[in-house]
């Protein structure tokens, strides 16, 4: 009986890893087929506990990030990122279809990561590696937005993991992006991270690296922001600069996680 169960589980792994999660089998199919596949993964797949029990979560997260990086790129990453893209041997979906498919993939990825006890270090590392190695703003925006969402909605697991994996290094890389939007998103991510950091962590940053806490003048110089982005930048400035000031004076967030 146990042998039959083990055999069944191995067959499920083969089906999932080499068929359902294998982008090389799907990238040349009609865009509607690909959209339906990833819409299913993002909406119905994880709700089936029997199917989900056969998913090897960490390896699936890593494989999904690999899928985004090498197959479902928005802009070819060869020239700027030095990454050899895949999925060029046949017709690819149009860019608008790629963006829609990426949205489903990222929704699936986000839900998969937050099942159980929250993000695992290797899962977060794969996302940070993506953000560090991709240099096209078009390939960064939606993945960075997902990370911001995870940080703001699930700080109890995200903040400690982000600290362990030195995620602030990724933020500084993103602050050098060409796009104002990417730089603003990076500041948002920093703000959400710092708002749940410990007093000691913020104090060390305050004393040894005050550049982390951008004032309004710094934000204006860094971005340079137009009127559309200024309200968001003001929010981020208050969140980052105000967070440490509040905690030094004892008026910070009620719960700090690292």
Place of tokens 């969402």: 149
**pLDDT (0 to 100) of residue 254:** 42
Mean pLDDT by 10 residues, the chain (258 residues): 59 73 94 95 84 83 97 96 94 95 97 87 97 97 97 92 93 92 94 80 53 46 44 46 42 52
**pLDDT (0 to 100) of residue 118:** 85
d(CA 27, CA 167): 31
**pLDDT (0 to 100) of residue 234:** 47
Nearest residue to 6 (alpha-carbon basis) of 61, 60, 54: 54
With vertex at residue 210, the alpha carbon angle to CA 204 and CA 215, rounded to the nearest 5 degrees, is: 135
d(CA 237, CA 257): 21
Nearest residue to 87 (alpha-carbon basis) of 4, 27, 142: 27
Give 159-226 as a DSSP string.
HHHHHHTTHHHHHHHHTT-S-HHHHHHHHHHHHHHHHTS-HHHHHHHHHH-GGGS--HHHHHHHS---
């Amino acid at each position: 009986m146990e042998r039959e169960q083990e055999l069944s589980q191995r067959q499920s792994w083969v089906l999932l890893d080499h068929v359902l999660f294998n982008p090389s089998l799907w990238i040349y199919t009609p865009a509607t087929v690909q959209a339906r596949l990833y819409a299913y993964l993002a909406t119905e797949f994880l709700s089936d506990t029997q199917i989900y029990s056969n998913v090897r979560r960490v390896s699936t997260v890593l494989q999904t990030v690999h899928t985004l990086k090498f197959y479902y790129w928005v802009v070819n990453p060869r020239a700027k990122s030095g990454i050899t893209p895949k999925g060029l041997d046949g017709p690819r979906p149009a860019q608008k279809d790629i963006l829609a498919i990426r949205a489903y993939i990222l929704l699936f990825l986000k839900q998969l990561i937050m099942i159980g006890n929250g993000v695992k270090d290797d899962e977060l590392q794969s996302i940070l590696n993506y953000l560090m190695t991709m240099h096209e703003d078009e390939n960064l925006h939606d993945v960075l937005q997902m990370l911001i969402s995870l940080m703001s909605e699930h700080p109890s697991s995200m903040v400690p993991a982000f600290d362990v994996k030195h995620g602030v290094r990724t933020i500084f890389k993103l602050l050098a992006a060409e796009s104002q939007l990417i730089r603003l998103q990076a500041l948002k991510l920093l703000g959400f991270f710092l708002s749940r950091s410990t007093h000691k962590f913020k104090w060390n940053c305050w004393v040894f690296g005050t550049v982390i806490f951008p004032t309004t003048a710094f934000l204006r110089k860094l971005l340079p922001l137009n009127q559309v982005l200024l309200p968001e930048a003001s929010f981020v400035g208050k969140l980052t600069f105000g967070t440490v000031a509040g905690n030094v004076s004892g008026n910070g967030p009620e719960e700090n996680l690292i």
